[in-house]
Structure 1
Amino acid sequence: MNQTIARFAAERLPVEFVHHYLSGTLDTYYASSAVLRKVERAKRNTETYTNFMTWEDPLFPTRLLVIPNPPYCLFYRGDLEVLHERTTALVGSRELNRISRPLVEFLHPLIEETVSISGGAKGIDGLVHEASLVRNRPTVAVLGSGFSHLYPTAHGPLFDKIERTGLLLSEYVPDTPVKKFQFLERNRLVSGLGDRLVVVQGREKSGTMNTVSHALEQGKTVFAVPGSPLDRLAAGPNRLIEEGAIPLTNPDQFLNDLMIVR
């Protein structure tokens, strides 16, 4: 059964189809000709996948079972147990400036006391993962391609370190190449895996704001690190605060509010 679900994932079959397949109600599901073609290709697929879990696996992260458009198959490298700890999704711009690294360092109490979740990209994502590793804390990178096409390639050594002490996750089968839209798709998993979302930096229109949209749809509390109105990478967080996000100016108080004893 699990191999069948993984082959469905390889064809990117819609989650509604998988729901009906697992519940034995396909006769009530209207499948378009495009979906039917994918089903036929999945049936002909003889690939045997490893290091993956499906909805029916007890290790599947329960946080992702309740989000809109949940993944039904996840490929992984590393330690799944880290997902049982408190988590914080930390996201931000791929573009960095002189204040980016100090801002991530400023958030060290969150990184030290919760498992950091980010997207493995250049910029803030990479700084978050690095800060976690330096402090011997597990971190989770949610990738937008398959493990045979890790992106960005410059983060190869970083991904190796994350795999040894934390977790790499992808909803894409290993041979899935890099495609731009997949990074927007994976954003819902970054926010979904976090108990809360923290926006470190970002322009008003960016992939970071796309992750915020997913977090709000998922009912997650969004925090934003305020910045100077002269800093273009603070425009996103500042706008979020204007719209109701919680300004994060004291990470220690943040942890106290979460009843975490440091």
Structure 2
Amino acid sequence: MTAKEYITLKHAKTSKSIQKKLQTYDALDTSQLEYLLRRHDVKYITINDLNYPPLLKEIYDPPYILYYRGNIDLLKIHALSIVGSRNCTQYTRASLSSLLSELSNVVIVSGLAFGADEYAHKIAIDNQLPTIGILAFGHSIHYPKTTQHMRDVLDCHYLTLSEYPPETGIEKWRFVARNRIIAGLSKGVLVTEAEEKSGSLVTLEMAMDENRSAMCLPGNMTSKYSKGTNLRIQEGAKMVLSAQDILEEL
């Protein structure tokens, strides 16, 4: 981080949230951070940069710095966030294959987790849709190992984002914090399958809190992986039966 960027960062907004973050940045060794960014081939933008996504600025607690690898211009494309159970069934895969094949001019955002996230990224690429992976740790780390190959593809050809410096490790609370970025980057969040208590539903609630579209796939009433989505539809989330349903929300 250059001295000019740091001064801009320190004197921009003065809300309590920003002040708290600036206290954290005060403790940063900026020389060490610049070294780590070069070492791990990671770049960054701040909330004051033109490339910072306008929708993300609108959320309650926007990340002040976004670290990234890949094509930052993907942030200029309208986004659809897709999340779901790590233990999703083939229903998620089949549904996304059908839906994404009929979409264009949209970037798919997800969290590079095992299960629904991985399907969302892979099926997007299979259908020539760009995709963005949101990390809950620094760029020198990856979890889970099963999605490492997909992560490598996104790093090289698409985009991965994190609000954390490169060597920031894994903490459970960071995955919850990551969800607000997934929700905040897009105009709508689609949940494919989710248990009654699921992190995917937390992301959906964050989207609703930010006045974004909440969408769910309806599922078999006997499947525990559709219980959460069916309940949310009953409570008012949009039921998605076709790509047109998504386009109407975006």
TM over 0.5: yes
Identify which of 222, 229, 233 aligns with 1:237.
Answer: 229
Flag the 1:100–1:253 CA change in 2: closer, same or farther, 3 A: closer
Q: What per-residue deviation string (whole Å, max 9, x for no partner) do you get for residues 118-143 of structure 1?
A: 01100100000010112222100101
Partner of 1:160: 152
How many residues are treated as equivalent by the alignment? Answer: 243
| Cα drift, residue 6 of structure 1 | 8.7
2:28 aligned with 1:42, yes or no? yes
| Cα drift, residue 42 of structure 1 | 2.2
SS at match of 1:184: helix
Flag the 1:179–1:245 CA change in 2: closer, same or farther, 3 A: same
For 1:191-210, what aligned pairs fall within 5 Å after superposition?
191-210=183-202
Cα separation, 1, equivalents of 2:27 and 2:222:
53
| Cα drift, residue 174 of structure 1 | 0.4
The farther-off stretch of 233-242 and 97-106 is 97-106
2:65 aligned with 1:79, yes or no? no
Cα separation, 2, equivalents of 1:143 and 1:253:
28
Q: What per-residue deviation string (whole Å, max 9, x for no partner) do you get for residues 143-196 of structure 1?
A: 111111111122121111122332101111100011111110000000111111
Cα separation, 2, equivalents of 1:24 and 1:190:
23
Flag the 1:158–1:6 CA change in 2: closer, same or farther, 3 A: farther
1:151 maps to amino acid: Y
2:84 aligned with 1:92, yes or no? yes
Flag the 1:219–1:110 CA change in 2: closer, same or farther, 3 A: farther
Flag the 1:210–1:22 CA change in 2: closer, same or farther, 3 A: same
Partner of 2:58: 66
SS at match of 2:27: helix
Cα separation, 2, equivalents of 1:25 and 1:240:
37
Identify which of 95, 98, 104 aligns with 2:96.
Answer: 104
Q: What per-residue deviation string (whole Å, max 9, x for no partner) do you get for residues 25-58 of structure 1?
A: 69x99x89xx96x566326864313501111211
Instruction: Give the conservation status (yes or no) of the 8 Å contact 1:93–1:123.
Output: yes
Cα separation, 2, equivalents of 1:165 and 1:111:
20
2:27 maps to amino acid: R
Flag the 1:110–1:202 CA change in 2: closer, same or farther, 3 A: farther
Flag the 1:46–1:161 CA change in 2: closer, same or farther, 3 A: closer
Instruction: Give the conservation status (yes or no) of the 8 Å contact 1:78–1:166.
Output: yes
The farther-off stretch of 187-196 and 40-49 is 40-49
Cα separation, 2, equivalents of 1:172 and 1:200:
28
For 1:1-262, what aligned pairs fall within 5 Å after superposition?
2-3=1-2, 21-23=10-12, 38=24, 41-42=27-28, 46-48=32-34, 49=37, 50-109=42-101, 112-255=104-247, 257=248
SS at match of 2:49: coil
Cα separation, 1, equivalents of 2:58 and 2:45:
16
Cα separation, 2, equivalents of 1:247 and 1:206:
18
The farther-off stretch of 163-172 and 211-220 is 163-172
Which ranges in structure 1 are unaligned for 5 or more consecutive residues?
9-17
Query: Rg larger in 1 or in 2?
Result: 1
Cα separation, 2, equivalents of 1:53 and 1:39:
14
Cα separation, 2, equivalents of 1:52 and 1:242:
41
RMSD, aligned α-carbons:
2.9
